[in-house]
Amino acid sequence: MTVPEIQSLVDDLAAEAARDRPTEETPEVGIVMGSDSDLDTMYGAHEALAELGFAEVTDYDDPPEARFTFETYVVSAHRTPDLMYAYATTARERGLDVVIAGAGGKSADLPNMTASLAYPLPVIGVPVQEKSVDSVIGMPTGAPLTAVDAGKSFNAALSAVQILAREHDDLEERLVAYHEDLQSEVGRVSRALHE
């Protein structure tokens, strides 16, 4: 992205934060990651959200019909710090309820910086690689970040929906149904082993 393109995204985020948008049109979940090289790992979050009936918003002028939605941004703490700052500081005003933030490398600063800037919005960190775990989970006392294990973006999305389910009974029902399906699958494999 060129510097003017980044500035235009920063301006869009600020304009959206200032807009009085009906809650239904704002994604509940924001997914950010430090590089497009994180996309494969972070795709697990897309899969989990799709499984639970969420749709991705790619065009705000033509939002999907699904009741629950998410959005995805590549936002680097080191290469595009202004964009990271804009995304995190406008997240709550824009109407997001929870952010999933993934980054890799030994300086995986995006999840913890996002958590500090978006506070008190909950942020769930995903270390994209094993070597990123300490960097993601190493937050000082008083500056919380919930995190999953390396690469487990699928679980990060389930945790995000668990947070949302406290306010949305239909999401709680979908989570329970998902868990029941998991149990049936384990039971089916277990029976197959004994046949």
| Binding site listing for substrate | 35, 38, 79
| Residue 34 to residue 17: CA distance in whole angstroms | 22
Nearest distance, CB of residue 132 and ligand RP5, angstroms? 7
Nearest distance, CB of residue 109 and ligand RP5, angstroms? 8
Separation in Å, CA 50 to CA 46, 108, 137, 178, 186: 6, 26, 27, 12, 21
Cis peptide before 81 (omega within 30 of 0): no
Nearer Cβ to ligand RP5 (33/171): 33
Nearest distance, CB of residue 100 and ligand RP5, angstroms? 13
Nearer Cβ to ligand RP5 (37/58): 37
| Residue 151 to residue 104: CA distance in whole angstroms | 9
Contact set with ligand RP5 (CB under 6 A): 33-35, 37-38, 76, 103-105, 128
Nearer Cβ to ligand RP5 (90/114): 114
Nearest distance, CB of residue 154 and ligand RP5, angstroms? 17
Using DSSP's 3-state secondary structure scheme, residue 106 falls into coil
Look at the block and give the residue holding tokens 């060129």: 2
**Which residues are known binding-site members?**
35, 38, 79
Nearer Cβ to ligand RP5 (7/35): 35
Separation in Å, CA 83 to CA 1, 6, 45, 169, 180: 11, 7, 22, 34, 40
Of the candidates 52, 43, 175, 163, the one whose C-alpha atom is nearest the C-alpha of residue 99 is 163
